[in-house]
Copies of this chain bind each other. A is one copy, B any other.
Protein backbone atom coordinates (compact mmCIF):
# COMPACT_ATOMS: atom_id res chain seq x y z
CA UNK A 1 0.00 0.00 0.00
CA UNK A 2 1.29 3.45 -0.90
CA UNK A 3 2.12 5.78 1.94
CA UNK A 4 -0.31 8.69 1.90
CA UNK A 5 1.12 12.15 2.22
CA UNK A 6 -1.57 13.07 4.75
CA UNK A 7 -0.38 12.17 8.27
CA UNK A 8 -2.35 9.44 10.00
CA UNK A 9 -2.69 11.70 13.05
CA UNK A 10 -4.47 14.23 10.83
CA UNK A 11 -6.91 11.58 9.61
CA UNK A 12 -7.64 10.51 13.21
CA UNK A 13 -8.28 14.13 14.19
CA UNK A 14 -10.56 14.54 11.15
CA UNK A 15 -12.61 11.72 12.65
CA UNK A 16 -12.73 13.53 16.00
CA UNK A 17 -13.70 16.84 14.34
CA UNK A 18 -16.34 15.04 12.31
CA UNK A 19 -17.98 13.57 15.42
CA UNK A 20 -17.89 16.94 17.14
CA UNK A 21 -19.51 18.58 14.09
CA UNK A 22 -22.18 15.90 14.17
CA UNK A 23 -22.92 16.75 17.78
CA UNK A 24 -23.09 20.49 16.96
CA UNK A 25 -25.41 19.74 14.05
CA UNK A 26 -27.69 17.67 16.28
CA UNK A 27 -27.72 20.58 18.74
CA UNK A 28 -28.93 22.87 15.95
CA UNK A 29 -25.70 24.90 15.65
CA UNK A 30 -25.36 26.51 12.20
CA UNK A 31 -21.80 27.90 12.11
CA UNK A 32 -18.61 27.20 14.06
CA UNK A 33 -15.13 28.71 14.20
CA UNK A 34 -11.86 26.75 14.19
CA UNK A 35 -11.35 28.00 17.76
CA UNK A 36 -14.67 26.51 18.86
CA UNK A 37 -13.87 23.18 17.21
CA UNK A 38 -10.43 23.29 18.88
CA UNK A 39 -11.93 23.94 22.32
CA UNK A 40 -14.54 21.24 21.79
CA UNK A 41 -12.04 18.50 21.03
CA UNK A 42 -8.98 19.68 22.98
CA UNK A 43 -6.46 20.70 20.32
CA UNK A 44 -5.17 24.14 19.24
CA UNK A 45 -7.11 26.13 16.65
CA UNK A 46 -3.93 26.31 14.54
CA UNK A 47 -3.98 22.49 14.49
CA UNK A 48 -7.61 22.45 13.33
CA UNK A 49 -6.84 24.88 10.50
CA UNK A 50 -3.69 22.99 9.50
CA UNK A 51 -5.53 19.65 9.42
CA UNK A 52 -8.43 21.01 7.36
CA UNK A 53 -6.00 22.75 4.97
CA UNK A 54 -4.80 19.34 3.77
CA UNK A 55 -8.18 18.91 2.13
CA UNK A 56 -8.84 22.34 0.64
CA UNK A 57 -10.33 25.69 1.50
CA UNK A 58 -13.23 25.78 3.94
CA UNK A 59 -15.09 28.46 5.78
CA UNK A 60 -15.47 32.21 5.32
CA UNK A 61 -13.13 34.62 7.08
CA UNK A 62 -14.91 36.20 10.05
CA UNK A 63 -17.91 33.88 9.69
CA UNK A 64 -16.40 30.46 10.28
CA UNK A 65 -17.54 27.15 8.94
CA UNK A 66 -21.04 26.04 8.07
CA UNK A 67 -21.53 23.04 10.38
CA UNK A 68 -23.62 20.90 8.01
CA UNK A 69 -21.31 21.53 5.05
CA UNK A 70 -18.13 20.83 6.99
CA UNK A 71 -19.66 17.73 8.58
CA UNK A 72 -20.66 16.40 5.16
CA UNK A 73 -17.21 17.14 3.82
CA UNK A 74 -15.38 15.44 6.71
CA UNK A 75 -17.56 12.35 6.25
CA UNK A 76 -16.75 12.29 2.55
CA UNK A 77 -13.00 12.65 3.22
CA UNK A 78 -13.14 9.77 5.70
CA UNK A 79 -14.98 7.57 3.21
CA UNK A 80 -18.12 7.70 5.35
CA UNK A 81 -20.50 9.04 2.72
CA UNK A 82 -21.59 5.40 2.46
CA UNK A 83 -22.13 2.47 4.84
CA UNK A 84 -19.45 -0.15 5.40
CA UNK A 85 -20.10 -3.76 6.27
CA UNK A 86 -17.54 -5.32 8.62
CA UNK A 87 -16.74 -8.76 9.93
CA UNK A 88 -15.11 -9.56 13.26
CA UNK A 89 -13.08 -12.64 14.17
CA UNK A 90 -12.64 -13.46 17.85
CA UNK A 91 -15.81 -13.47 19.94
CA UNK A 92 -14.15 -12.91 23.29
CA UNK A 93 -14.78 -9.96 25.62
CA UNK A 94 -13.06 -7.45 23.36
CA UNK A 95 -14.92 -8.80 20.34
CA UNK A 96 -18.18 -8.54 22.24
CA UNK A 97 -17.37 -4.96 23.28
CA UNK A 98 -16.65 -3.96 19.68
CA UNK A 99 -19.79 -5.70 18.36
CA UNK A 100 -21.92 -3.69 20.77
CA UNK A 101 -20.08 -0.37 20.15
CA UNK A 102 -22.88 2.07 19.36
CA UNK A 103 -20.53 4.65 17.87
CA UNK A 104 -19.62 2.28 15.05
CA UNK A 105 -23.30 2.20 14.05
CA UNK A 106 -23.62 5.98 14.20
CA UNK A 107 -20.60 6.31 11.89
CA UNK A 108 -22.10 3.93 9.32
CA UNK A 109 -20.24 0.74 10.26
CA UNK A 110 -22.29 -2.44 10.37
CA UNK A 111 -20.85 -5.69 11.66
CA UNK A 112 -22.49 -8.38 9.53
CA UNK A 113 -20.64 -11.44 10.77
CA UNK A 114 -18.83 -12.63 13.91
CA UNK A 115 -16.56 -15.65 13.72
CA UNK A 116 -14.65 -17.85 16.12
CA UNK A 117 -13.11 -21.31 16.11
CA UNK A 118 -13.99 -21.99 19.75
CA UNK A 119 -16.90 -24.45 19.91
CA UNK A 120 -18.07 -22.94 23.21
CA UNK A 121 -18.57 -19.58 21.47
CA UNK A 122 -20.00 -20.69 18.12
CA UNK A 123 -23.77 -20.37 18.21
CA UNK A 124 -23.73 -17.77 20.96
CA UNK A 125 -25.70 -14.59 20.36
CA UNK A 126 -23.89 -11.22 20.30
CA UNK A 127 -26.18 -8.29 19.66
CA UNK A 128 -28.37 -9.46 16.77
CA UNK A 129 -25.79 -11.93 15.45
CA UNK A 130 -24.90 -15.55 16.03
CA UNK A 131 -21.21 -16.42 16.32
CA UNK A 132 -20.31 -18.54 13.30
CA UNK A 133 -17.41 -20.92 12.63
CA UNK A 134 -14.44 -19.46 10.71
CA UNK A 135 -15.32 -21.67 7.74
CA UNK A 136 -18.39 -19.47 7.08
CA UNK A 137 -16.33 -16.29 6.73
CA UNK A 138 -15.67 -16.37 2.98
CA UNK A 139 -19.37 -16.80 2.21
CA UNK A 140 -20.42 -13.87 4.45
CA UNK A 141 -17.67 -11.60 3.05
CA UNK A 142 -18.83 -12.35 -0.48
CA UNK A 143 -22.54 -12.07 0.25
CA UNK A 144 -22.25 -8.68 2.03
CA UNK A 145 -19.37 -7.29 -0.05
CA UNK A 146 -17.24 -6.84 3.08
CA UNK A 147 -13.86 -5.12 2.71
CA UNK A 148 -12.94 -4.55 6.37
CA UNK A 149 -12.22 -7.09 9.09
CA UNK A 150 -11.61 -6.64 12.83
CA UNK A 151 -9.24 -9.16 14.37
CA UNK A 152 -9.53 -9.89 18.09
CA UNK A 153 -8.34 -13.50 18.15
CA UNK A 154 -5.57 -14.72 20.49
CA UNK A 155 -2.04 -13.76 19.44
CA UNK A 156 -1.03 -17.27 18.43
CA UNK A 157 -3.72 -17.49 15.75
CA UNK A 158 -3.82 -13.87 14.55
CA UNK A 159 -1.67 -14.33 11.42
CA UNK A 160 -3.58 -17.45 10.43
CA UNK A 161 -7.00 -15.81 10.82
CA UNK A 162 -5.72 -12.66 9.08
CA UNK A 163 -4.68 -14.84 6.12
CA UNK A 164 -8.15 -16.41 6.12
CA UNK A 165 -9.69 -12.91 6.04
CA UNK A 166 -7.44 -11.89 3.15
CA UNK A 167 -8.23 -15.06 1.21
CA UNK A 168 -11.92 -14.36 1.80
CA UNK A 169 -11.63 -10.94 0.14
CA UNK A 170 -10.90 -8.59 3.06
CA UNK A 171 -8.53 -5.75 2.06
CA UNK A 172 -8.32 -3.75 5.33
CA UNK A 173 -7.76 -5.18 8.81
CA UNK A 174 -7.97 -3.60 12.25
CA UNK A 175 -5.76 -5.89 14.33
CA UNK A 176 -6.10 -5.93 18.13
CA UNK A 177 -3.74 -8.84 18.73
CA UNK A 178 -0.33 -8.11 20.23
CA UNK A 179 1.38 -9.54 17.12
CA UNK A 180 1.77 -6.78 14.53
CA UNK A 181 0.59 -7.97 11.11
CA UNK A 182 2.60 -6.72 8.19
CA UNK A 183 0.72 -4.68 5.60
CA UNK A 184 1.10 -5.81 2.00
CA UNK A 185 0.63 -4.06 -1.34
CA UNK A 186 -3.00 -5.12 -1.45
CA UNK A 187 -4.03 -5.23 2.24
CA UNK A 188 -4.03 -2.29 4.63
CA UNK A 189 -3.42 -3.18 8.28
CA UNK A 190 -3.85 -1.05 11.36
CA UNK A 191 -2.35 -2.64 14.49
CA UNK A 192 -3.90 -1.46 17.76
CA UNK A 193 -1.39 -2.14 20.49
CA UNK A 194 -3.14 -1.69 23.84
CA UNK A 195 0.02 -1.83 25.92
CA UNK A 196 1.83 0.64 23.63
CA UNK A 197 -0.94 3.13 24.48
CA UNK A 198 -0.20 2.67 28.18
CA UNK A 199 3.52 2.95 27.46
CA UNK A 200 3.07 6.43 25.97
CA UNK A 201 1.74 7.38 29.40
CA UNK A 202 4.62 5.77 31.29
CA UNK A 203 7.10 7.32 28.86
CA UNK A 204 5.64 10.75 29.62
CA UNK A 205 5.56 10.02 33.37
CA UNK A 206 9.23 9.03 33.23
CA UNK A 207 10.01 12.21 31.32
CA UNK A 208 8.23 14.27 33.95
CA UNK A 209 10.06 12.46 36.74
CA UNK A 210 13.40 13.11 35.02
CA UNK A 211 12.57 16.80 35.04
CA UNK A 212 11.78 16.51 38.75
CA UNK A 213 8.23 17.70 38.11
Contact = CB atoms under 8 A, between A and B. Distances in A.
B180 A4 contact: no
Contacts of A107: 195, 198-199
A178 B100 CA distance: 13
A101 B9 CA distance: 26
Interface residues of A, number: 63
A16 B79 contact: no
B78 A180 contact: no
Nearest to A173: B201
Contacts of A89: none
Interface in A1-59: 1, 4, 8-9, 11-12, 14-16, 19, 41-42
A11 B188 contact: no
A190 B183 contact: no
Interface of A: 1, 4, 8-9, 11-12, 14-16, 19, 41-42, 77-80, 84, 86, 92-94, 96-98, 100-101, 103-104, 107, 109, 147-148, 150, 171-174, 178, 180-183, 188, 190-209
Contact of A199 (B11, B181, B195): B11
Nearest to A19: B178
Q: How many copies does the complex hold?
A: 2
Nearest to A210: B79
Q: Which of A77, A79, A94, A181 gathers the greatest number of chain B CB atoms within 10 Å?
A: A79
Q: Which of A14, A192, A204 gathers the greatest number of chain B CB atoms within 10 Å?
A: A204
Nearest to A178: B103
Contacts of A14: 199, 203
B92 A148 contact: no
Contacts of A198: 84, 86, 104, 107, 109, 148, 150, 174
A100 B193 CA distance: 15
B96 A196 contact: no
B204 A16 contact: no
